[in-house]
Structure 1
């Protein structure tokens, strides 16, 4: 046995990390405040898309155990914090869960323990917020205890890259902290990349997601005038992608979702404004463009219906795929929410199909919907069918052939009389 690990938070980041560490030889306690989650995990029932019940049961045999008792922290050689950091009303991260986890660690931590924060946040959080609470008992960081930050790189639904084969960035508050953290992760991660310090590790995560946010906003902006100029932007991007250097393809869509792209860059923008007094204009503009993307989809819906002499009010509109990403059940920040709200507000009769979401309450739309059983049949009676996420279960040619009219927001269909690209 390599040692004892406690992973605080058993969500889409914490559970996979806990299971990989157990596979690497650690005795692992998955600490969570939700008693039902703890009970289900110990019964071998996973609540995470990327973790099957069979995989969880193997983890239980390898040394994983879910717990709701924070006293297990006292047994730990290493503590990982994988708790949510949602967007607060003022624009920065809501660090309440981080503070609670850090304070709990401070209540039970023993000398020589390594504590690592993985929750995405702004540069400086580890040193300014996390460490003081963890070391509140008077322990000296870098000598009595070790503290580091390592950004999570979990990509839900990615079958190629997981915990083991995705490089792990680590930055400690001292050189000794970095060394301890690197040594820990090498037990179950193939490549560990030491950063100069905790702030650099925190910044690296925000660079990754800001890069994506800005480039998606670029093509979402280009989409509008490309449509006006009768240019197939998806084809143009495919052509540009043939260049073997100096270009990375991003493609437009109905909007961005999940925690990373629409939320994380705001942490950096908020930090810059709060500490330095000026705006991170690139992020603010990208946020404006990407937030407007679902509303542009609604405008295209109205345009397509008008071409067919049909009003949006009373029109039957079918949404296909309402999660933020294909082949997962995660609904966080899904562009389907603001789109449905706009269409329902215009008086449309909105229905949906999603094999991963049996029930759906579009945010602030005031309705509760149930996924239709047969998307092909539903498409045949809808005035307009909108492809939002191309789940692998969808037979797109069959759906397109049955639909009276289809709006493809992913650019994966051939344009014909019934199918229009965004």
Structure 2
């Protein structure tokens, strides 16, 4: 049976979309490289996508008719194509749009009139019109807005959030023309309860920039508050508990050892902006990035001080890292600060081990990190236990009793039973 939808890019963005489409009864084909397609056909979510799709959910998708294919010809048989290629930062921190370019060129060669093309990959404002549109038009000979519809819709995914599944999260859409917007809205209207129309693709792209920057800036604020409160001898976690009772003008964010996940704002240095813009664009976002990137080093500083206060040195210390994913109760390690913390501790001469119920194997700097099989015994044997992520399976009261020293970077332990960030 020919597919009605093609999802180009079967990673943390594309797989949830494909799952929602299959659940809505839409015949869906996913396009990606052969190795990833082979894993999906065997019922195994690709590495890095476990948080977005479990093996059981993938099996239900396959039973519901979902097909994964590396054959570009499949893209020429659908009415809607959604590009979900990853755009992770490159070495110079600029967004790597090569995946979007590759996907667009592959799609352009098979693009048919009246197809609706939607970009969901995180991109800077203007990318849909300035990057994607020319590739599609030159490769197909068709004109966007006249021969095919073109739109942007920012991905809004929160892995593990049961309160807001795909259908309960409003979808923002900005089309090249009003007709493009309505065509994309008609598609997403089959998947979500609410569709929000932006004035155009640039506005929709900037929605993503604002949402991710909002999270980043507010986490940076409480991270700085964590450092200040520690220096002042103030219980930050009690401050947050009290502040969040205010019914207006305040939303509680909590500090941590760093910021991970797929929803990070682009580096302001690489945002396109007119020369007439006064000053540096999004200076606050750039400052927030600096603050959040300093948190792993601050955690190491706190750990070293704690060990010294108890007559121990980081060199030769046995350190157990609890929770190495970026988010509680998911397997996704994208951007998790655990790797940097492990790297720094190893460089200082500490012996590292870890425990995470969602990560059976972990490598840092190309070397495997020993996994604690017996959690309580490992906690008791470690000179220092660092809680980096609070998975619900952790009995923190019991672990605090067993641990020689426990530094809680998530404020999850009861007051007085552990050292908290």
Bigger shift: residues 69-78 or 135-144: 135-144
Look up the SS of the partner of 1:260 in the other structure: coil
Find the counterpart in structure 1 of residue 223 from structure 2: 220
> Structure 1 residue 26: deviation in Å?
1.7
**Unmatched 5+ residue regions in structure 1?**
none
Structure 1 ranges of 4+ moved more than 3 A: 43-47, 272-278
**What's the counterpart of residue 17 of structure 2?**
17
1:222, distance to aligned residue in structure 2 (A): 1.2
- Out of 191, 195, 200, which is 1:192 matched to? 195
Within a 5 Å distance, the mapping from 1:17-416 to structure 2 comes to 17-33=17-33, 35-47=34-46, 48-136=50-138, 137-261=140-264, 264-266=265-267, 268-272=268-272, 278-279=279-280, 280-362=282-364, 364=365, 367-416=367-416
Deviations 1:150-187 (A, max 9, x none): 01111112122222111000001111110110011101
- Structure 2 gap segments, 5+ residues each: none
| Deviation of 1:11 (Å) | 1.1
Separation of aligned partners in 1, 2:343 and 2:172: 39
Paired residues of 1:12 and 1:156 also in contact (CA < 8 A) = no
Distance 2:235 2:55 in 1: 43
Q: 1:123/1:284 Cα in 2 relative to 1: closer, same or farther (>3 Å)?
A: same
Deviation at 1:275, TM superposition (A): 5.8
Question: Against the structure 1 CA distance between its residues 73 and 3, is the aligned structure 2 distance closer, same or farther, given a 3 Å change threshold?
Answer: closer
| TM-score using structure 1 length | 0.94
Deviation per residue, 1:87-128 (Å, 9 max, x gap): 123332111000010111110010000000000010000000
2:18 counterpart of 1:7: no
- Tell me how far 1:131 sits from its aligned partner: 0.9
Comparing 95-104 with 58-67, which one deviates more in the overlay? 58-67
Asked if structure 2 preserves the Cα contact closer than 8 Å seen for 1:358 and 1:370, the reply is: no
For residues 299 and 18 of structure 1, do their structure 2 counterparts lie closer, same or farther at Cα, with a shift above 3 Å needed?
same
Contact 1:361 1:369 in 2 (8 A): yes
How many residue pairs get matched?
Answer: 415
* 1:59 to partner: Cα distance: 2.1
* Cα drift, residue 260 of structure 1: 1.4
